[in-house]
Structure 1
Amino acid sequence: MKNIIIVGGGAAGMMAAVKAAETGGHVILLEKMSSLGRKVLITGKGRCNITNACDVQQLIKNMPGNGRFLHSAFREFSNTDMVEFIEHWGVKTKVERGGRVFPVSDKAKDVIDAFVDALAEKKVEVLTNQTVRKILVEDGQVTGVTTDQKQYPADAVILATGGASYPGTGSSGDGYKMAKELGHAITPLKPSLVPLEVAEDWIKELQGLSLKNVTATVIADGKKQADDFGEMLFTHYGLSGPIILSLSKVVAEAFNAGKKEVTLEINLKPALSEEVLDKRIQRDWEKFSRKQIKNSLNELLPAKMIPVVIDLAFLDPDKFVNQITKVERARLLKQLQHFAFTITRTRPVSEAIVTAGGVSTKEINPATMESKLVKNLYFAGEVIDIDGYTGGYNLQAAFSTGYAAGKATSE
């Protein structure tokens, strides 16, 4: 009977353990925290965005961090397979906006419970509070692992320790260190899916306000880098929410490339051209011609934004609408379509939902997730240099690579 050890009890590790145990091997799952799936519990704001309902090509497209490396894994265990798997273990799913798949219950704990049931049925030995310190290798082949407490012999080891984000969940970068000790190249780590900090003090006035159906554009040293459409959120330090998180990797890359000025512009009315928006403002102001400008924008903007936009457009808030000049209206129009922020930095990797960078994909077999340097060493999940946008793509990558590694170890 083969001894298979999985290091890390997150999404990738749990899936790897379930699959590895299917052929009757002795599978031990070692988790440093006191319970499994700590990071899974906080995904999707505690609801767990299990996967995305798009096709495989879209899955790859939405993994800008080495998506093509995942082609075999996504074909082997797709998002459809994941939904079938989780429903088999009693978790009914639903599809929401953007193809996001959630449990009908909206409880991430149900997903963890399903995995716990699957692990128990497959007779996986789950050991918590076990911090693995070293992977043991002899003659270029895995022989076991050493934890704080003891040494475990192994015929195969799957490293599924996660990234370096949310260290409170156990993802503290241990896997990178262990892989590096075995000769693997680690692509530099940077935050992906992380909020952004801005220079503007007045951001505090917008704290807690969320916007829908806006377009955000990243500009570095005067050149457009990327844009995204959807929802965003203002915080006391800057910007967050789905489209900001999706663009954050581009921001991190701009800073890493030595760009001196990185800005983010928000088009508050992307569905309207400049000309159409100008006519819309004029129509509103015909209606409110005897009102002060500060009381004339309620149909156009959330209340919290009105004083900020008026101030940035250098308008007198007490001026009556019928006294506003064409030049003043043009300044307002510019703010509505180019509401700009100076980005000072991304929040740290520890606050990122996903870590970009990790074990180089060039040193991993994409079909089996086996190391090309060390025999019977496998990788799964975020420890690999893969990362995607928000929307269920990262969890699917974890499940698919975990499945591929688990299958390969048991064959």
Structure 2
Amino acid sequence: MSSRPLKVLVIGGGAAGFFGAIACAEAHPHAQVMLLEAGRQLLPKVRISGGGRCNVTHACFDPAVLTQYYPRGGKALRGAFTRFQPRDMIAWLDQHGVELKTEADGRMFPTTDDSETIVDCFIHAAKAAGVEIRTGVPVAEITRLDSGFEVALKSGQTLSCDRLLLTTGSSPQGYQLAKQLGHKVAPPVPSLFTFNVSDPRLHDLAGVSASSVRVRLRTSNDEQFEQSGPLLITHWGLSGPAVLKLSAWGARALHDSRYQGTLQINWLPQYKPEALREQLLAVKSQLPRKAIAPNCPVLLPRRLWERLIASAGITETTRWAELSNKALNQLLQELTQGSYTVKGKGAFKEEFVTCGGVSLKEVDFKTMESRCCPRLYLAGEILDIDGVTGGFNFQSAWTTAWLAGQAIG
């Protein structure tokens, strides 16, 4: 047994860094764990996640299903999730006095609906486990030694350690440090964003949503992606789960096409085209004298229905009996294959997720140790892993950080 305690340095005080430091200190009480955060504030994304409520994880407990929510990294996480998954995170928080609740869409939040509950829990757990926390200490460079690492801070101070955990998220400085230590980094590009769409059919409809649509995106570089789910019309275009999922799966293709493309929307994917035609013809024979605009026979918000029929050339006073075959075909086209031009991307709240990071082939997912730099461990968003919205990005941070924490000591 070595006479001196193992020295562990964690660089990055976000979700993965904090949880990794705690996991290491709790599993290996004799290790000396120090957490370095460049900024003044700890856990910034945890504080703003879920509109300040903190969407901790997702109620999905089958690793095979869970991996399907990750446009990048799902395959590598498959084994990792068999060792630490949402159920384990829920249990860990429960042991540390935090209770979670599950919302209808599967997202999980603290019962307090306050992200400070999670922040306080982590800070308390870190201190209780003996983690030394330092803020406002940016790292300048890392040098590999035979026995570990020397970390030079921008202040001029140097620290040495036996093991290093790099959890700098999507910070360019973190990617730079990873490259210095021999890693390849896939260039980071935004993931999870809304679409800028300026179209007369959507004007003044901000706040209108459709509960289940199918969207197909063709980028200007001719790559295609398809997703389904709720859709929300906004002041600048389109948002909601269907669009956010498309933005995640198409992140790199959209970046390469400068966020230009065509979006085809099927507002009523629950109908087969012929069944929808029959439904409209049935209404035409049942309500011949009624105006089409106020009598919407399908599950769509009334204002959206009025906009789509106008786009098909049907006036406010047109009656069902007056619906020509040509207008019927145009209406079916609008309802199931309406085409919208995407002219850029918007933001998604204050959360910022990137696609890109350290190549997953260079990391051992049993331990999260680097394959190119022994005694270096990586966790969280610095890796080329990203999930769709709903607590999945946090879960990959908790899982990779926990595995690293167990292995480091």
The alignment partner of 2:302 has SS state of coil
1:27 alignment partner in structure 2: 33
In structure 2, relative to structure 1, the CA distance for the partners of 1:259 and 1:195 (3 Å cut) is closer
Matched, 1:45 2:51: yes
CA contact (8 A) 2:175 2:382 kept: yes
Contact 1:28-1:127 at 8 Å conserved across structures? yes
Alpha-carbon distance between aligned partners in 1 of 2:351 and 2:341, rounded to the nearest angstrom: 20
SS of residue matched to 2:368: coil
Confirm or deny: 8 A CA contact 2:10 2:17 kept in the other structure. yes
User: Residues 248-259 of structure 1: matches in 2 within 5 Å?
Assistant: 248-255=247-254
SS in 2 for 1:405: helix
- Equivalences for 1:32-111 in 2 at 5 Å? 32-54=38-60, 55-111=62-118
Change beyond 3 A, Cα 1:314–1:253: farther
Cα distance in 2, alignment partners of residues 160 and 48 from structure 1? 19
TM-score w.r.t. the length of structure 2 is 0.89
One-letter code aligned to 2:366: A
* Aligned partner letter, 1:85: W
Q: Which residue of 1 aligns with 2:245?
A: 246
State the percentage of identical aligned residues.
Answer: 35
Segments of 5+ residues of structure 2 without an aligned counterpart are none
Contact persistence 1:142–1:154 (CA under 8 A) = yes
Counterpart residue number, 1:335: 334
1:14 aligns with 2:18: yes
- More divergent stretch after superposition (179-188 vs 288-297): 288-297
Secondary structure of the residue that 1:216 maps to in structure 2? strand
Distance 2:115 2:196 in 1: 29
Contact in 2 for aligned 1:248/1:346 (Cα 8 Å): no
Q: What CA distance in whole angstroms lies between the structure 2 residues aligned with 1:181 and 1:349?
A: 32
Counterpart contact for 1:33–1:129, Cα < 8 Å = yes
Residue 142 of structure 1: aligned partner: 149
> Does the 8 A contact of 1:197 with 1:343 survive in 2?
yes
Q: Which residue of 2 aligns with 1:168?
A: none
- Which residue identity is paired with 1:182? L
Q: Distance in 2 between matches of 1:387 and 1:324?
A: 48
TM-aligned CA deviation for residue 380 of structure 1: 0.7
Does 2:364 match 1:365? yes
**Aligned match of 1:398:** 397
Aligned partner of 1:118 in structure 2 is 125
Supply the distance in 2 between the matched residues of 1:301 and 1:197 (Cα, whole angstroms): 22
Cα distance change, pair 277–319 in 1 and its aligned pair in 2 (3 A): same
Q: Out of 60-69 and 355-364, give the one that drifted further.
A: 60-69
CA displacement at 1:297 relative to structure 2:
2.7
Report SS of the residue matched to 1:293: coil
Residue by residue over 1:198-243, the C-alpha shift from the partner in whole angstroms, topping out at 9 and shown as x without a partner, is: 2535544222222212222223479783332321212222221112
Q: Which residue of 2 aligns with 1:157?
A: 164
User: When the two structures are superposed, what TM-score results if normalisation uses the length of structure 1?
Assistant: 0.88
Which one-letter code corresponds to 1:16 in the other structure? G
1:95–1:260 CA distance, 2 compared to 1 (3 A): closer
Counterpart Cα distance in 2 of 1:72 and 1:123: 30
Equivalent-residue separation in structure 2 for 1:190 and 1:350 (angstroms): 17
Quote the Cα distance in structure 1 between the aligned partners of 2:283 and 2:117: 49
- Relative to structure 2, which stretch is displaced further, 284-293 or 201-210? 284-293
The yes-or-no answer on 1:262 pairing with 2:261 is: yes
Change (3 A) 1:286 1:129: farther
Q: Deviations over 1:381-403 (max 9, x none)?
A: 01101112223221111001111
| Residue 346 of structure 1: aligned partner | 345
Residues 286 and 113 from structure 1, CA distance in 2 versus in 1: closer, same or farther, beyond 3 angstroms? farther
Mapped to 2, the partners of 1:160 and 1:95 lie a distance apart of: 28
The SS at the match of 1:130 is coil
Residue aligned with 1:65, SS = coil
Instruction: Provide the secondary structure at the position in 1 that maps to 2:186.
Output: strand
1:370 partner letter: E
SS at structure 2 position matched to 1:97: coil
Counterpart-to-counterpart distance in 2, 1:290 and 1:316: 14
Equivalent residue for 2:8, pick from 4, 7, 13: 4
Deviation at 1:281, TM superposition (A): 2.8
Structure 1 residue 377, shift from structure 2 partner = 1.6
Moved more, 94-103 or 369-378: 94-103
Question: Judging changes above 3 Å, is the alpha-carbon distance between structure 1 residues 253 and 329 closer, same or farther for their aligned structure 2 residues?
Answer: same
Write the letter of the residue equivalent to 1:51: T
SS in 2 for 1:48: coil
Count of aligned pairs between the two proteins: 402
Distance 1:328 1:305 in 2: 17
Q: For each residue in 1:70-115, what CA deviation from the matched residue of structure 2 results, as whole angstroms up to 9, or x when unmatched?
A: 2343222222111100111122122333433222232222122211
**What secondary structure sits across from 1:42 in the alignment?**
helix
Deviates further, 113-122 or 229-238: 229-238
For residue 35 of structure 1, report the CA deviation from its aligned partner.
Answer: 2.6
Residue 213 of structure 2 corresponds to residue 214 of structure 1: yes
Q: Is the 8 A contact 2:7 2:162 kept in 1?
A: yes
* Matches for 1:371-390 after TM superposition, within 5 Å: 371-390=370-389
- Preserved contact between residue 228 and residue 242 of structure 2 (Cα < 8 Å): yes
Return closer, same or farther for 1:390/1:91 CA change in 2, 3 Å cut-off.
Answer: same
How much has 1:317 moved relative to structure 2?
2.8
**How far apart, CA to CA, are the structure 2 residues paired with 1:354 and 1:173?**
14
